[in-house]
Structure 1
């Protein structure tokens, strides 16, 4: 039997880093595998070569730069994980991945906007809370003792 999967969407923010700290602790308690995910903007399909490949390289370089501190922390803490870089709207893609991968839960950071602001601004956390097929833990505020 394979380990349960906890989806950990990140955007490079301090909020996402706090969520990663919680995810590591919860993954240990559940003996779960963490799936680190970063959603990037769509590739510019109207560019010809070599501009299209240059744009892809820039997006992937940015994604790897953004993911590296998370990878480092997860390795240092001994978490089992893999990562996924995917194109598209984060709120949509996070829910899609959670559904396809049959994730046990999603753990993500939030800036802490109110429900009303989240609704009007299209908050990723708000969308995931509404549409994810599994429990969602939204981490706000300061971290607990490491």
Structure 2
């Protein structure tokens, strides 16, 4: 059915739960997985509290270390399940654009994403990367809540 599944992760608990389920599905269908973490561009206001006072160079080092840790979870789960896996991280200020682009570049035929379930004003202000991927992706997107 699916041959290559993209697993974007932000390192959250829900993202990790989604990843484990998708790796189980990949094992059952004989698919491989591609783990992805998108690092936002450097700004004065960073996505991790400890990075607010960082220099551009320190932000890069810290962000890449976080990415490697998040992706290590995918690598370990895939190895335990015997599922072929590759991982990468990219830097992009629009994570949804990077997700759609990587899915196309890697020949993915499914994107699996977690939804944090933000609603109302919070959802409107923070935006939903999952919703944006759903809107812009040309391939199926499986959403876990």
Q: TM-score range by the shorter chain?
A: 0.7 to 0.9
Aligned to 1:8, the other structure's residue is in SS state strand
**Offset at 1:53?**
4.5
- Where does residue 28 of structure 1 map in the other structure? 27
What's the counterpart of residue 67 of structure 1? Answer: 71
CA distance in 2, matches of 1:113, 1:57: 30
Provide Cα deviations, 1:75-131, integer angstroms capped at 9, x if missing partner. 222221010111112111101111222311001111123488645532011001111
Deviation per residue, 1:46-82 (Å, 9 max, x gap): xxxxx65444322211211222223222222222101
Give ranges in structure 1 of 5+ residues lacking alignment.
45-50, 141-146
Which residue is equivalent to 2:105? 100
Q: What secondary structure sits across from 2:138 in the alignment? A: coil
Equivalent of 1:128, from 102, 108, 133?
133
Instruction: Check conservation: 1:11, 1:66, Cα contact below 8 A.
Output: yes
Q: CA RMSD in A?
A: 2.3
